[in-house]
Each structure stands twice: as structure tokens, then as C-alpha cells.
Copies of this chain bind each other. A is one copy, B any other.
Amino acid sequence: MNRPATTPEPPYYAVIFTSVRKSDDAGYGVTAQRMLELAARQPGFLGFETAHGDVGISVSYWSTLDAIKAWKANAEHVLAQQRGKAEWYASYRVRVCRVEREYGA
């Protein structure tokens, strides 16, 4: 992805996932890529943006809160979340947001 996600007219929803990874994060990259592929197939998925520096920030966009709940409960995603907590993340925050307004160029 080399451009901002293309999303519809608000309102829609965003999940901001901010994380700091441990130095030993074996398996993270493969799982992250797999989760993106799975998420993109979920009903209500609108787009995704990610960037990594001192922290990693991944934002996924969704049509409804129910679509976010369904993705959170996806069986393979649940396993990835458990592994993330146990192995990969020194700290993380998940913020579920309603996008009220969008503009750009």
C-alpha cells in the first residue's frame, strides 16, 4: 500500500491499533500478512493502512461496529490476538472509533 486507504463518505468506523513489539517477534510478519488477507475478506472491511517506527500503527476501516465485532471474533484472528499478547507485543492499545469527517487531496 503506497497511498491512503480509499474509504466511503463518513460515518464509518476505524480501529486504530498501536503497538510496541518485543525484540524477539518470530512469526509476527507472516501472521500480520495473513491477518490482513483474512480481514480484507470480512464483510464490512473498507481498507487498511499500516506504518512502523518506534511504535507500529495499523488502522483498519469498517462499515459498522458489528463488522468490527465479527472480525475480532474470527477464530484464526482470536489465535493471533492471543499469540500477540503472549509473544509479540510489549504494549498495545486498540481504539475503536467512529469516523465523523474525512477530507484530503
Interface set of A (CB-CB < 8 Å, partner B): 1-5, 7, 10, 14, 16, 18-20, 49-57, 59, 65, 85, 89, 91-105
State the number of copies, please: 2
Instruction: Give the nearest-CB partner of A98 in chain B.
Output: B98
A53 surroundings in chain B (CB, below 8 A): 50-52
Inter-chain CA distance A10–B104, complex, in Å, is 26
A55 touches B1 (CB 8 A): yes
A56 nearest CB neighbor, chain B only? B51
| Best-buried of A1, A4, A18, A49 by chain B (most CB within 10 Å) | A4
9 residue pairs, one from A and one from B, having the closest CB atoms = A97-B97, A93-B104, A51-B51, A51-B53, A4-B18, A4-B93, A96-B101, A2-B54, A51-B57
